[in-house]
Amino acid sequence: QLGKSRAATILSIEHLRKHQKVVSPARGFYVIVIPEYRVYRCLPAEYFIPYLMEYWHEKYYACLVTAASYYGAAHQQPQTFQVMVQQNRESIRCGKVEVDFIINKNLGLYPTQEFATQRSELVVSSPETTAMDLVNYPKQCGGLNRIATILDELQDAIREQKLLELLEFSSQLSWKQRLGYILDKLGADSLAQVILQHLQEMKRVDYIPLNSSQAADAHTNTRNEYWKIIENSNFESDL
C-alpha cells in the first residue's frame, strides 16, 4: 500500500521504533503507539490482543482475573493481562504492558462474550466460564483468598441457567465441587444449590482437597460431606 519494497518498509519501521512510535509485542507484529500511551511504551493489551490473535490464527479469550474485571469484579486491578490460548506461548512484556498466556486446548468449547473497547472487539470468558477457570487455575489467580474475593464480586453476574448448562456440559467434577463449596461459604446460596443438585445426580463423587497444591491430612483435615471436600486450607474474602 505504501509503494515501498519490503526492505524499505522494514527500515521505516525500525526508524519509528527508535522514536518509540511503533513497538513490536510479538515477532512480525507491530503496534502504533498513539501519543496518549507513549508513557506506557505500548498500547493497552485489550486494544491489540484481538489483532495479535488474528495474526496468529489462534482462538483465545481474556480469562481469569482479567475476565472478572470486565464484570465488575475488580477489587484489585490485575497486574497482567491474562489470555487463554490453545498452545504454549511466551509471555509478552511490551513497555509497561504485560500479557500472560494460559493453556486450555478445549477453550473453544466454553461460553464467551464480546466487549467493545475503543479500538477492538475483545473476546472474554463468560461469567460462568470465568468462575470455572478461577478454581481450575488457582496459582495464576493468586490463591484461594483472591479467588474468594473475586467470586464474591462476580456472583451477581453469574446466571443460574447458564451455570447449569456449563455444569451439564463439563464432565470434570473437581471444579464443580470446589466452586460450589466456595460459593456456599460466601453465602451465594442459590448458585451453590444449583451446583449441589447437579452433583447429587452424579453416580459417584469422590473426596478431593480444597487446595490441590497443599497436602491433605486424613487425621487433621475435616471433611465436608455435602461437597465432598477435604478442608485442607482456609480462605477469606476481602469484602
What tens digit of pLDDT does each residue of 179-200 get?
A: 999 999 999 999 999 999 999 9
What tens digit of pLDDT does each residue of 127-159 get?
A: 999 999 999 999 999 999 999 999 999 999 999
pLDDT above 70 coverage of the chain, percent: 98
Task: Name the CA dihedral angle for 136, 114, 117, 68, rounded to a multiple of 10 degrees.
Answer: -30
DSSP letter assigned to residue 166: H
Is the pLDDT assigned to residue 218 strictly greater than 80?
Answer: no
Taking each continuous run of H as one helix and of E as one strand, the counts in the chain are 9, 11
Beta strand segments in the chain, E: 22-26, 29-32, 60-62, 81-85, 92-94, 97-103, 112-116, 121-125, 208-209, 223-224, 229-230
The answer to whether 230 touches 215, Cβ cutoff 8 Å, is: no
For 85, phi then psi, to 5°, come to: -135, 175
pLDDT above 90 coverage of the chain, percent: 88
pLDDT of residue 219: 64
Q: What is the largest CA-CA distance in the chain?
A: 75
> Confidence band (pLDDT; 50, 70, 90) for 221?
confident
DSSP one-letter string for 167-214: HHH----HHHHHHHHHHHHHT-HHHHHHHHHHHHTSS----EESSTTS
